Amino acid sequence: MCLAIPMRVIEKQGEIGKVEQGGVVREVSFALMPDVACGDHVLVHAGFAIERLEAAEAAETLALLRELMAAGEQEAGGD
Amino acid sequence: MTDERAALAALLRSADAASALARAIRDLAEGLGTVRLMEVCGTHTVAIRRSGLPSLLPESIELLSGPGCPVCVTPDEDIDRAIAMAGLDGVCLCTFGDMLRVPGSSGSLERARASGADVRVVYSPLDAVALARRSPERQVIFAGVGFETTAPTVAAAVRSAAGLTNFSVLAAHKLVPPALEALVAREDFSVHGFLMPGHVSTIIGSDAYSPVARQHGVPCVVAGFEPGDILLAIWMLLRQMRDGRAEVEVEYRSAVRPEGNLRALELMGSVYEPVDSTWRGLGAIPASGLGLRASQAAFDARLRHPVEVAPSKGRPGCRCGEVLVGALRPDGCALFGRSCTPATPIGPCMVSSEGSCAAYYRYSR
């Protein structure tokens, strides 16, 4: 029930606007996330944008994941 | 799209990352003995079972499903109340699709609809408000079930319904942190770490789990929904256990802040207030649900359309309550896969596609 889909904001007029993902366009309410702009990526749940997805924070998880993968490769190479 | 989000999303779905994470998890698990981890989110339940993720883990790690499926933890009385309201003259009861087949003490909203009640499935609570605007002759009731992810959307719908006299909400929302605190305080609680729900946490923030980690000493990691997200979160939980730490960490960093979505919390708090609430499996928990504030009485379906609901007698043999607290694996119930299947479900954990029994039946048998 708590499913939320990442989508890109393509239109915003006050609290109402449109988001897009893979060619699918949906109307959404920005009542819970008023400070987003066109081009931002948001999570959409039950017709509402509930959070903005932040690239900088994604980069930190990405770095951790790459570190773990590199460590695994080293270990595999040394076996 | 070439930014870090896209790169991360692609990597989290990749077989390379999954095998690297599985190896890292095996390395950490070696020194830890038996590890029982619980996920508290129906979307995680489905992601874990559908991806076959447990097969990547060493046998010493057991993944359990907790009370993370909103319709599963909703007690019979609340379902019965929605069914009774749907049967009132002139009423149209709107709900999310998940609720339709969930059994009350007798029948379901789907059966009520088949017998002529006006029951409609909506994608957004705003659709129910729009329906009320279009149909002044109908009394539109929205069955407000769900956790903190959903509650602010219903609160926003109530706010947008200002001036309407034919829209109301049957509030049956549940709050995740009080239920987790009740769960960890149980004598039979034997879980070593929690995978916390990603989208509930976008609203309430990761700080909301601090009491579970700090006071009860249970490591917590808020996880995203790709198989790689969940594996990385499991690795982070094992790392906390190895280091002797119990903290709240966030794997799903692109979407979850420590403080949550303040705007959503403010709106939720202006429409709803915490109320004592009964959870299937956990019983009555103080301040673990949401009721409409007195200032919102005009939108409170319980006041506008009062119905009598008898106490539930339960379902003979159904052990959903034990499954929901991780005390019993779905296949430990005598009904599982015999009289209780997704085609002929007896308990809510088999009805809801997010229920642990349904996910287990489809993917893990």
How does pLDDT run across A8-64, given as a tens digit for each residue?
999 999 999 999 999 999 999 999 999 999 999 999 999 999 999 988 888 888 999
User: How many domains is chain A partitioned into structurally?
Assistant: 1
Burial of B147 (0-12, 13-18, 19+ CB in 10 A): buried
Given a cut of 70, whether residue B147 has pLDDT beyond it is yes
| Shared domain check, B171 and B86 | yes
Q: Are residues B230 and B327 in the same domain?
A: no
Mutate to test the interface with A, among B1, B2, B5, B257 (most CBs of A within 10 A): B5
Question: Do B153 and B220 have their domain in common?
Answer: yes
**What is the domain extent for residue B338?**
320-363
What residues form DSSP beta bridges with B169? B142, B300
B119 and B103 fall within a common domain: yes
CATH number at residue A22: 2.30.30.140
A42 to chain B, minimum CA–CA distance in Å? 9
Mean pLDDT of B59-84: 94
Q: What is the CATH number of the domain that holds B227?
A: 3.40.50.11740
Model pLDDT, residue B33: 94
What pLDDT, on a 0 to 100 scale, did the predictor assign at position A77?
59
Per-residue pLDDT tens over the stretch B173-199: 999 999 999 999 998 899 999 999 999
The strand ranges marked E within B19-74 are 35-39, 61-65
pLDDT greater at residue A59 or residue B291 = B291
Q: Do B35 and B169 lie in a common domain? A: yes
In terms of domains, do B232 and B132 share one? yes
Task: State residue B365's pLDDT score.
Answer: 75
Q: How large is the ipTM? A: 0.92
Residues B104 and B240 in one domain: yes
B124/B14 same-domain check: yes
Number of domains chain B is built from: 2
> What is the band of B7 on the pLDDT scale with cuts at 50, 70, 90?
confident
Residue A76 is predicted with a pLDDT of: 63
Q: What is the pTM of this model?
A: 0.95
Residues B208, B71 share a domain = yes
Identify whether residues B72 and B87 lie together within a single domain: yes
**pLDDT at B2 exceeding the cut of 60:** no
> Cβ–Cβ of B261/A75 closer than 8 Å?
no
Same domain? B274 vs B358: no
Contact A2 B12 (CB under 8 A): no
- B216 and B165 in a single domain? The answer is yes
H-type alpha helices, chain B? 4-12, 15-29, 42-51, 70-73, 76-86, 109-114, 125-134, 151-160, 176-184, 198-204, 210, 227-243, 262-271, 301-304, 320-324, 348-351, 356-363
Q: Which domain holds residue A62?
A: 5-77
Q: Which of B3, B4, B268 to mutate to test the interface with A (most CBs of A within 10 A)?
A: B4
The answer on pLDDT for B250 being more than 60 is yes
